[in-house]
Amino acid sequence: MTASIINGKEVSQELRASMTAEVKRLSEQGVVPGLAVVLVGEDPASQVYVRNKEKACHDLGFYSEVHRLDASTSQADLLALVDKLNKQESINGILVQLPLPGHIEEKAVIDAIAVEKDVDGFHPVNVGNLVIGDDSLLPCTPAGVIELIKRTGIEMSGKHAVVIGRSNIVGKPVSLLLQRENATVTMCHSRTANMKEITRQADILVVAIGRANFVDAEYVKPGAVVIDVGMNRLDNGKLAGDVDFESVKEVSGPITPVPGGVGPMTITMLMQNTLIAAKRAHGLA
């Protein structure tokens, strides 16, 4: 049996279409969501991500500012810019593109972003609110994963979800969000013993371990939903997920491809967070 493909690009386009309509309604009330993106240095991958965010803002009718700073920018100057953006009314969301150059402490910068403008969901207060189940801005990739699982129509409640990977930006938050959907969650990571025995019990398998084609068909229970968060650049320049798509799709249920699965959802959820932050700033949410 060949599994159905979860098309992240299509889901993303649907979400963006409904956001565009909402932005139009809001702009009639004088509310325009604004996103500031800060890029320090010239990392080529970061430059592509930042351009894509700028384009998404333009397409959706958001106000956007991109601050491109020299790689030698001091931490104090970067913090001063964050402080200015925190106070700027036209800006509802602030994203400082990571990684930052080595002389800048990422944590100091993330901690400096106003909690209500932290559209990455990386600020410790937003992370803490996620843990205790209070309202917070959710980290974009994990929120996109949950959205894609919902779109399969497969109920998460009572299911066994296994997450491979325990990073702060994907593994940990996605585990909490799955738990919030009433799944029973097991976390695996690079030191997990007998990983296949655990993943073969998963009704929902989320893979974010950062190793190309790590999960093959032996890891997967027949019919399981498989979400691949991996983005690994191979020596031949091609992009590969953490899941060996060709073998796994022969046994799994709905599965995300790479590219075209989780990837397109991340920026879409960033736009959704910015929209939420704008509505909250104007007392509309």
| Chain-centre distance for alpha carbon 282 | 25
User: Which residues in the 37-56 window bind ligand GUN by CB under 6 A?
Assistant: 49
CB atoms within 10 A of CB 270: 27
Q: Is 41 annotated as a binding residue?
A: no
Q: CB 96 → ligand GUN: shortest distance, Å?
A: 6
Q: Is 16 annotated as a binding residue?
A: no
Of 205 and 265, which has the nearer Cβ to ligand GUN? 265
Q: CB 99 → ligand GUN: shortest distance, Å?
A: 7
Region of 56-64, 70-78, 96-104, 125-133 interacting with ligand GUN (CB under 6 A): 96-104
Of 156 and 262, which has the nearer Cβ to ligand GUN? 262
Among this protein's residues, is 249 annotated catalytic? no
Q: Which of 117, 118, 120, 203 is catalytic?
A: 120
Among this protein's residues, is 179 annotated catalytic? no
Of 141 and 199, which has the nearer Cβ to ligand GUN? 141
Q: Is 118 in the site for ligand GUN (CB under 6 A)?
A: no
98, 125, 217, 239: which one contacts ligand GUN (CB under 6 A)? 98
Among this protein's residues, is 53 annotated catalytic? yes
Strand partners, 39: 68
- Give the integer Cα–Cα distance in Å for 46 and 157: 37
- Tell me the per-residue interface mask from 125 to 144 with ligand GUN, x by CB under 6 A, - otherwise: ---------------x----
Of 105 and 155, which has the nearer Cβ to ligand GUN? 105
Q: Is 166 annotated as a binding residue?
A: yes
Q: Which residues are annotated as a binding site for NADP(+)?
A: 165-167
Residues of the shown chain interacting with ligand GUN in the complex, contacts defined by CB under 6 A: 49, 95-98, 120, 140
Q: Give binding residues as ranges.
A: 165-167
Q: Which residues are catalytic?
A: 53, 97, 120
